[in-house]
Chain A
């Protein structure tokens, strides 16, 4: 009853930055600074072709990051996405080899990912194993199964159709020049980028506009309160982990399709890039905080950094170091804003 001094304007009229949007703004600013700096250093950086390359390179981390964002908002973590990505690719590859058409094979791969995620959710909610340990277990299990099924050897000669998802593009404009190589006017928007955009919009819709999304936030914010309010907490968590697994499966198919080869060794440590994307984008590992647009910015910061440092000839090891520092910095900035 101490707020007599407030103005009578409805809360929606008063314009102010929430802590979340401030974090997102600083992340966006970081991204802009990176783009500017790399453009300044290399003429080839700020081109349509390189822009599309960055989009393509970021799509896998972006897909994983979206799944992890949902899991992290529930207050959990999913360390298994890199391995699940490989297992899903292996299942798709073996299905194609067994004579199943590409589209149903890829659906099988995504379903495999979803099943791994559902198993994670089951172990976490019903067996009451902490998410860190449960998904660490799945990380080993999925990788082991992927290596066992393939004998650790890549699966190649999967046919042209298998490579379409990863290498095809929309609105590709090619001009016949009469020579051997036609002139590419516009390389087109790669399918993985379109897929990422669709998934990002769908996930944002789920989190903002659907009951399930609201319950994901509530579960991460205060699990006991959510339970007492009648939220089916276990079902909400299983749903988040299943989605994370399915998206890892999708990312696996995109990645293997791009390589037109199934590599059971792919995706090692990808979970850390995905977690970094979510955290840079403002998701809190304590739960209850995070959103898809932030994670997309985070994924692109990592993507731009990788791409720009590559073009500048910086070694992959130095890149790891830089990204490590950026994650720490992002969490530090987050803590400062919360302390205010």
Chain B
């Protein structure tokens, strides 16, 4: 994995983000940067605050405190619609699909293609969906069926297609391979690498250490609402990351290891 060179301003800056529910501080003074062409793994236990942080960036949730900047400009994101305007696309763990609608209707939901009379252009949505879905899975069929009748993998493919079709600049992927088989997982890995070369910044929420070390340039680890570690992937081992996730701190020997020049 080639080390990532950080150039230019960050794509996204989340600064001093706070979110509390009653007395519980789900996100506690968290800051996070994402640069173009960078894949950042966001790790942590369930309830560590990573999903909450991602939901704030995608507009599904408003923070109590803190600011978000996109390309250096302050971005006031109040709902998912706003986030999309800033080029932020999200693949939700729940996939966020309307079960009774077919694949094209889901892919274009909220951004339907229309003709000059403002009527839905279902033919064009169908052909565009076919193009983007086949790119992700050459065997994708059943475009006319309600997505409720599709397999978990196919549903995941629709959710991914929806995020990449609209030329996202910032992509949030919440457990994108959780429902996928090995070949589809490999395909998503290839896709992430390709999107990175196109200069897209990706936040990858994952539990899969293999994926994280295979795909990410940096990791940000959260524990009890705080960021307990933000490291370049070359600076840490899987054990280091697991220690951060579980104990909220690096192993005692970490700084010693990283001071020594590595042979």
Write the residues of chain A forming the contact surface with B, with a CB cutoff of 8 angstroms: 1-4, 6, 11-12, 208-211, 214-215, 217-218, 220-222, 224-232, 288-289
Name the contact of A224 in the complex, choosing from B58, B96, B142, B181 (C-beta under 8 A). B96
B99 interfacial contact with A, CB 8 Å: yes
Cα separation A218 to B104 with both chains bound (whole Å): 13
Cα separation A226 to B96 with both chains bound (whole Å): 7
Chain A residues with Cβ below 8 Å from B81 are 230, 232
Task: Determine if A1 and B137 form an interchain contact, defined as CB atoms under 8 angstroms apart.
Answer: yes
Cα separation A209 to B114 with both chains bound (whole Å): 9
> In the complex, which residue of chain A has the Cβ closest to the Cβ of B122?
A209
Name the contact of B97 in the complex, choosing from A1, A222, A232 (C-beta under 8 A). A222
Q: How many whole Å from B167's CB to the nearest CB in chain A?
A: 15
Name the contact of A231 in the complex, choosing from B90, B109, B142 (C-beta under 8 A). B109
Cβ-Cβ contact count across A and B, 8 Å cutoff: 91
Task: Determine if A211 and B114 form an interchain contact, defined as CB atoms under 8 angstroms apart.
Answer: yes
B143 interfacial contact with A, CB 8 Å: yes
Given known contacts A228-B96, A288-B98, A2 and B151 CB-to-CB distance under 8 angstroms: yes
Task: Determine if A217 and B101 form an interchain contact, defined as CB atoms under 8 angstroms apart.
Answer: yes
Q: How many whole Å from A74's CB to the nearest CB in chain B?
A: 12
Cα separation A18 to B247 with both chains bound (whole Å): 53
B111 interfacial contact with A, CB 8 Å: yes
Task: Determine if B99 and A221 form an interchain contact, defined as CB atoms under 8 angstroms apart.
Answer: yes
Total number of B residues with any Cβ neighbor in A under 8 Å = 39
> In the complex, which residue of chain A has the Cβ closest to the Cβ of B84?
A230
Do most interface residues of chain B lie in helix, strand or loop, or is the interface mixed?
loop
Cα separation A214 to B98 with both chains bound (whole Å): 11
B184 interfacial contact with A, CB 8 Å: yes
Q: How many whole Å from B127's CB to the nearest CB in chain A?
A: 11
Cα separation A3 to B100 with both chains bound (whole Å): 21
Question: Within residues 94 to 148 of chain B, which ones have a CB less than 8 A from any CB in chain A?
Answer: 94-101, 105-106, 109-112, 114, 118-120, 137, 139, 141-145
Question: Within residues 197 to 256 of chain B, which ones have a CB less than 8 A from any CB in chain A?
Answer: none
> In the complex, which residue of chain B has the Cβ closest to the Cβ of A8?
B141
Task: Determine if A288 and B99 form an interchain contact, defined as CB atoms under 8 angstroms apart.
Answer: yes
Name the contact of A1 in the complex, choosing from B90, B98, B112, B153 (C-beta under 8 A). B153
Name the contact of B101 in the complex, choosing from A209, A218, A224, A227 (C-beta under 8 A). A218
Task: Determine if B96 and A222 form an interchain contact, defined as CB atoms under 8 angstroms apart.
Answer: yes
Cα separation A225 to B181 with both chains bound (whole Å): 24
Q: A221-B99, A230-B109 are known contacts; what are 19 more A-B pairs with Cβ within 8 Å?
A: A1-B137, A1-B139, A3-B139, A6-B141, A11-B141, A11-B145, A210-B119, A211-B114, A214-B120, A217-B105, A221-B101, A222-B97, A225-B94, A225-B95, A226-B110, A228-B80, A229-B162, A230-B81, A288-B98
Given known contacts A12-B144, A218-B101, A229 and B96 CB-to-CB distance under 8 angstroms: yes
Chain B residues with Cβ below 8 Å from A230 are 79-81, 84, 109-111
> In the complex, which residue of chain B has the Cβ closest to the Cβ of A12?
B144
Cα separation A3 to B120 with both chains bound (whole Å): 30
Task: Determine if B98 and A210 form an interchain contact, defined as CB atoms under 8 angstroms apart.
Answer: no
Chain A residues with Cβ below 8 Å from B179 are none
Q: How many whole Å from A273's CB to the nearest CB in chain B?
A: 26
Chain B residues with Cβ below 8 Å from A226 are 98, 109-110
Chain B residues with Cβ below 8 Å from A288 are 98-100
Question: Within residues 142 to 161 of chain B, which ones have a CB less than 8 A from any CB in chain A?
Answer: 142-145, 151, 153
Name the contact of B120 in the complex, choosing from A12, A210, A231 (C-beta under 8 A). A210
Cα separation A11 to B84 with both chains bound (whole Å): 31
Task: Determine if B100 and A228 form an interchain contact, defined as CB atoms under 8 angstroms apart.
Answer: no
Chain A residues with Cβ below 8 Å from B181 are 1
B92 interfacial contact with A, CB 8 Å: yes
Name the contact of B112 in the complex, choosing from A2, A211, A224 (C-beta under 8 A). A211
B60 interfacial contact with A, CB 8 Å: yes
A sample of 19 cross-chain residue pairs with beta-carbon separation below 8 angstroms, ordered by A number, consists of A1-B181, A11-B141, A214-B101, A214-B112, A214-B120, A217-B98, A217-B100, A218-B98, A218-B105, A221-B98, A221-B100, A227-B60, A229-B80, A229-B96, A229-B109, A230-B79, A230-B84, A230-B109, A230-B111
